[in-house]
Copies of this chain bind each other. A is one copy, B any other.
Amino acid sequence: MTVISAQKETRPTTTYSPLAPPRRYLFGPGPSMVHPRVYEALSKPIVGHLDPYFFGVMQEIQQLLKPVFGADDGVTMVISGTGSAGMEASVANFVEPGTKFAVFANGYFCDRITEMGKRQGASVVRLEKPWGDTFADQEAVDFIRREQPQVVAYVHAETSTGALQSGRAICSAAHDVGALVIADCVTSLGGIPVNAAKTGIDVAYSCSQKGLSCPPGLSPMFLSSRAMNWLGSRTSSPRSWYLDLKLIYDYSTVSHRYHHTAPISMFYALREALVVIAEEGIENRWERHRRCHEAFVKGVEAMGLRMLVPEGQRIWTLNTVSVPQGVDEAKVKSRLLEEEGIEILGGFGPLAGKVFRIGIMGPLATEEHVQFLLRELKKSLASQGYRP
């Protein structure tokens, strides 16, 4: 073991300038803007992951998540990973090798959940539709009755397409055949009613950085009593230890049995983001997002642009606007970013180059910010030769 004396100091050859992120207006599909109080919470001194104070913060988060998920019964908790970790936790805990797993497939995140199901050894069956479409009640019921799956998954708000999928018919048909239902609520939670219990969802996962307006890094989950009973009676261990929901539940609730070292600062931030939401009132928040969505749609239609998804099937928090003929989507985006610090994203997969994906969430969901965005979008389109 080499011991270096205090005199023989080594200094780095490269110097690093202070961290100075550029100012961005986050109008993409997420992350969204973060409330100053949430940043303040992030920078509070940490305590240990087994400290009674920390367990108090965890418990507050669980309570605060209930109205946001619409969790009249069941359990809410938080996974120490991003929304994709929540997706993997849902699949790895409820889909066993050989499980018949039915996926409603109409976008990228449906494909991701399919891939996760395959990796868990499931037998995956899919009902496919073009990206941007949704499934009608009867289509959903027919598919589930025909396939008789054990687990069903759908994406409530498809971030890749902007389409909102109603879950009532899916959940009801799934329960009729004894199946559990997993719902991806990554882009809906906090901005659109999820109504998990009323809809009949058994397992819902989301992220921290969209409708909740907290930085990314955590995945809030809802588990129905049915899902908890199923989990309690599962005899095999999930292939993932890190995302083993029984162990995470034990750490997060009554016994507080050590599982992993939770990201303390991120939990502080999520707690504060949820308090901000509780103070506004979740129903007021949904309504604010609905109004801003409508104002935005009105504005883009006035510019002669068209929404990809038909009215009534649109996600309030994430708008997909068709790129007009002859306009280079990438140039519009980069002009917005470089000149105004506005982030919007484009489409990918079958929608590459065909849509703009524009999120209006959290602190940016105000009439003023919508009008600012519309003005800048118009300028940027005009610079690419677009005339309504």
Contacts and interface: CB of A to CB of B under 8 A. Distances in A.
A27 to B, nearest CB: 10
A246 interface: no
Contact of A279 (B12, B271, B278): B12
Copies of this chain in the oligomer: 2
Interface in A197-238: 207, 209, 215-217, 237-238
A254 interface: no
Contact of A241 (B30, B63, B84, B272): B84
B82 A50 contact: no
Interface stretch (A17-25, A125-133, A150-158, A303-311): A17-25
A266 B266 contact: yes
A69 to B, nearest CB: 15
Secondary structure call for the A interface: loop
A41 B241 CA distance: 31
Contact of A6 (B43, B119, B284): B284
Contacts of A264: 31, 215-216
A98 to B, nearest CB: 14
B281 A10 contact: yes
Nearest to A27: B48
A365 to B, nearest CB: 14
A44 interface: yes
A287 B85 contact: no
A14 to B, nearest CB: 7
A240 interface: yes
Nearest to A20: B44
Interface in A278-299: 278-279, 281-284, 286-287, 290
A16 interface: yes
Contact of A216 (B43, B112, B261, B281): B261
Contact of A60 (B16, B24, B34, B286): B16
A163 B43 CA distance: 33
Given A46-B34, A63-B14, A82-B263, A21 B53 contact: yes
Given A34-B46, A85-B81, A287-B6, A263 B19 contact: no
Nearest to A259: B84
A343 interface: yes
Interface in A25-78: 26, 28, 30-31, 34, 39-51, 53, 57, 60, 63-64
Given A82-B261, A241-B112, A260-B83, A281 B9 contact: yes
Contacts of A268: 19, 21
A48 B19 contact: no
Contacts of A345: 48, 50
A42 B265 contact: yes
A88 interface: yes
Leading 4 A-B pairs by shortest Cβ distance? A217-B263, A43-B43, A215-B265, A10-B281
22 contacts: A3-B290, A4-B283, A9-B281, A10-B283, A16-B278, A19-B268, A19-B271, A19-B272, A22-B47, A24-B45, A31-B264, A34-B45, A39-B42, A39-B44, A46-B216, A80-B217, A82-B263, A215-B263, A215-B265, A217-B265, A217-B266, A265-B265
